[in-house]
Structure 1
Amino acid sequence: MPAPQTANQASTPAPGRPGRIVVKIGSALLANTSRLTPRYGFIQRLLEDIARLRSQGHDVILCSSGAVALGMRVVGAEPGSAGLSDKQAAAACGMPQLLNAYKQVGYEFDLEIAQILLTLGDFEDHRRFLNTRNTVHRLLESRIIPIVNENDTVTTEEIRVGDNDRLAAKIAQMVEADHFVILTTVDGLYDRNPSEPGAQLVEEVSDVSAYLQAASGKTTLGTGGMLTKLQAANMAQNAGVTAWIAHGDVDRPVSSVLSGERRCTKCLPNPQPASMWNSWLADRLQMAGHLVITDEAVARLSGNHPIHRDDVLSMDGDYSRGDVLHIYDREGVERARGLTDFTSEETRVMIANPDLPADQLLGYQTHAEIIRANNLVRLEGHHLPWDAPDDEAPQRRVVPRGGGTAG
């Protein structure tokens, strides 16, 4: 592992102007591990700190786990062995408990609270993404604290976001936050497993990919570990947001991080952040499909060129028009992500029959640009991979160019 980078956290200033802060809270902080009941002491310390930040003019958005954990006792399930239906039922029981706890404690600090439940589609569909963004902004205008959570009562393994770390990072991108604070049960990122002798806290990092091997393990109650926190931090970095990973079970859990008063990991923002549109395109929560393109097409990516059907060597996935595809070179290196103008079936027909005009194959006029230039984001080497083509996948799923016939 690389040597840990250090920084004088005490020299890190608290936000000097009113800013926007997204705080993600893990399940282990909100639910008592043995009794699976709300940890009111933590919630009180958290909301007292939020009220303090609000009095300084900051906007705060909470992304809260905990509903599934709090509902486990009610449905008679164990966190370690619960199935999907158990978790959905537990979420239905635990969500009222969680919101009630926030409401009860919030009244003490004169905080108004609103709940926003989201699914993967609310992030992957751009119109729903903008509608969610508008709702969050309207709540903030009214000085109401949005509490965001994945809607675990209806999601399945195939369509769920997967963890609230990445959900929170998407919210940070969505609202153009200044700070993204991930509160967990460890001090931050370590250069190796924290249980190993000699493990050292990484206090400041710009390239989180150097520490992926050290990011393993998860809590009993949570669905993510340090890996998902690094992925979430990377998403925030790419949008120009400073990300922090810190222990949450302390007094002033958020403001003490931002003021540099305690140990934590600070993930520096990209000095040249992507636009919101490019962030939405590049930082996906689920792969719809992928293309492998020619060396010549890879070279043209830097010149704002589209991906034409003649550029595609092979493809995989079942996707719809408007889904985002991952673009790979021959060596399996991901080079770009972009919004497709064609369905997977249309793409298969076009690349399997390169000698026939696309108009004739599809039955309508088209330039056969799989991804237009303005819907394509070239990856600059600072995006962590989410998924990759599965080398073990059956070859029948991958359609090579010229590998089939129309109809």
Structure 2
Amino acid sequence: MTMPEQKKPKQKTLVVKIGSTLVANRQRLTPRFGFLQQLMDDITRLRESGTNVILCSSGAVALGLRTVGETPESAGVSDKQAAAACGMPLLLNAYRQIGHEFGIDIAQVLLTLGDFEHHRRFLNTRNTVFRLLEAGVMPIVNENDTITTEEIRVGDNDRLAAKVAQMADADDFIILTEVDGLYDRNPAEEGAKLIEEVVDVAPYMAATQGKSTLGTGGMTTKLMAANIAQEAGCTTYISHGEVDRPLTWVLEGKQRCSRFPAHDVPSTGWERWIANRLQVAGRITVSDAVADEIAEGDRPVRREDILSMNGDFTRGDVLHVFDEAETERARGLSDFTSEELRVLTVNADLDAEQLLGYRTKGEVIRAKNLVPLEGRHLRWNVNDELGGG
């Protein structure tokens, strides 16, 4: 049952994502208490100034690897799930101990992909986070790595944190990492320059491959996360975490970083939830003419519009709408299951009510549930596997 929607706190909200390499010592795989002390000291300043802070902290898997006798290089999927179970208490205990010094109460919020992709669970999780903030408790959000499999996991804490920022209507989103931000090339190369402001992340995606040995995300996932947050009306920063005041200096403009300003006129919460997906449930292709009409707004997708379809989905899943050039143009909620839609498209000349056994207009995606993608919104590649993150 969906709870009554909790009101957003009146204070400003900041979501902070912390990478594994900042939290866990690379050699010993133990908590880096010095860094955590600096972080919590800075969070205290923000809270005292009236800003709510939500942490999305990596590190549970890294901290638990030694317990299960593995290393970042040797660990398989089941090893990492077991390591997450061992490392999560160590991670939370480190935050709890240091938080106690500053009078900060913490709460753990474990999420899976479904908590973001199913709207009722999305709202229920949002209500829980808001209630914690109302009580003065700092939520620490993680993916539930112990139980998630490849098919049902977010896969990286960068995008998870961005979805939390969207969920919480955050004003700012800071990703703390080992580099100052986004560079125009590998930062180890001579002449590499920091890109201080990025309005559109798309041109930089191809040059951001690679990830750390401790984490599951590299700069590519950070750009994807920044785009999700931008579309939610949230300004994002990617910054080096190894400074005295890693958060306040970024927000005050005193720290080198890459800034991703929020896009103008953010859409409604409903539209943001539909448009910002972590997983493809299904896809349909329509003609270029239909796609152009959808882009103009207030136009549903009808059964006769569909040229092809792919994926197994249920009623209420989000479908990705492509044109004939295989460019993604919109996303929207399906009114039919994939089985029903196949019946409707194969038998296009027969009455929809006769085929399905119930009254329907034959609208696959209603206009109110269909969101055209703006030019700066990252689109899915046509070759992305259905069900992938």
Fold agreement, TM-score > 0.5: yes
Residue of structure 2 in register with 1:360 after alignment: 354
Indicate if the aligned counterparts of 1:28 and 1:222 stay in contact, CA closer than 8 A.
yes
CA distance in 2, matches of 1:391, 1:384: 13
Q: Give the counterpart of 2:315 among 289, 296, 321.
A: 321
CA distance in 2, matches of 1:303, 1:323: 20
Give the letter aligned to residue 200 of structure 2.
D
Indicate if the aligned counterparts of 1:193 and 1:216 stay in contact, CA closer than 8 A.
no
CA distance in 2, matches of 1:251, 1:216: 29
Is there any run of 5+ residues in structure 2 with no aligned partner, and where?
1-9
Q: How does 1:325-364 map to 2 (within 5 A)?
A: 325-364=319-358
The residue matched to 2:150 in structure 1 has which SS?
A: coil
The residue matched to 2:217 in structure 1 has which SS?
A: coil
CA distance in 1, matches of 2:226, 2:31: 27
The residue matched to 1:74 in structure 2 has which SS?
A: coil
Per-residue deviation at 1:361? 1.6
1:260 has 2:291 as partner: no
Residue of structure 2 in register with 1:59 after alignment: 52
1:234 has 2:213 as partner: no
Deviation digits for residues 293-328 of structure 1, max 9, x if unmatched?
Answer: 122311221131110000000000011111101100
CA distance in 1, matches of 2:216, 2:173: 19
Indicate if the aligned counterparts of 2:297 and 2:372 stay in contact, CA closer than 8 A.
no
CA distance in 2, matches of 1:214, 1:375: 34
Indicate if the aligned counterparts of 1:326 and 1:334 stay in contact, CA closer than 8 A.
yes
Per-residue deviation at 1:26? 0.6
Closer/same/farther in 2, CA of residues 253 and 391 from structure 1, 3 Å limit: closer
Per-residue deviation at 1:362? 1.4
The residue matched to 1:204 in structure 2 has which SS?
A: coil
CA distance in 1, matches of 2:46, 2:266: 26
Give the letter aligned to residue 362 of structure 1.
L
Per-residue deviation at 1:391? 8.5
Residue of structure 1 in register with 2:302 after alignment: 308
Deviation digits for residues 180-201 of structure 1, max 9, x if unmatched?
Answer: 0000111000011112221100
Indicate if the aligned counterparts of 2:237 and 2:259 stay in contact, CA closer than 8 A.
yes
Residue of structure 2 in register with 1:277 after alignment: 270
Deviation digits for residues 61-101 of structure 1, max 9, x if unmatched?
Answer: 00111101111110011212321111110000000000000
Q: State the TM-score, normalized to the length of structure 1.
A: 0.90
Indicate if the aligned counterparts of 1:190 and 1:214 stay in contact, CA closer than 8 A.
no
Per-residue deviation at 1:136? 0.5
What is the aligned-residue RMSD (CA, Å)?
A: 1.3
Indicate if the aligned counterparts of 1:18 and 1:56 stay in contact, CA closer than 8 A.
no
Per-residue deviation at 1:111? 0.5
Residue of structure 2 in register with 1:87 after alignment: 80
Closer/same/farther in 2, CA of residues 392 and 27 from structure 1, 3 Å limit: closer
Indicate if the aligned counterparts of 2:29 and 2:65 stay in contact, CA closer than 8 A.
yes
CA distance in 2, matches of 1:303, 1:37: 53
Q: What is the identity percentage for the equivalent residue pairs of Structure 1 and Structure 2?
A: 64
Q: Give the counterpart of 1:170 among 145, 156, 163.
A: 163
1:371 has 2:365 as partner: yes
Give the letter aligned to residue 372 of structure 1.
R
Residue of structure 2 in register with 1:8 after alignment: none
Q: How does 1:7-406 map to 2 (within 5 A)?
A: 18-301=11-294, 302-385=296-379, 387-390=380-383
Tell me whether 213-222 or 145-154 shows the greater mean CA deviation. 213-222
The number of residues matched between the two structures is 376
Give the letter aligned to residue 317 of structure 1.
G
Give the letter aligned to residue 350 of structure 2.
L
Divergent runs of 4+, >6 A: none
Indicate if the aligned counterparts of 1:339 and 1:371 stay in contact, CA closer than 8 A.
yes
Per-residue deviation at 1:380? 1.1
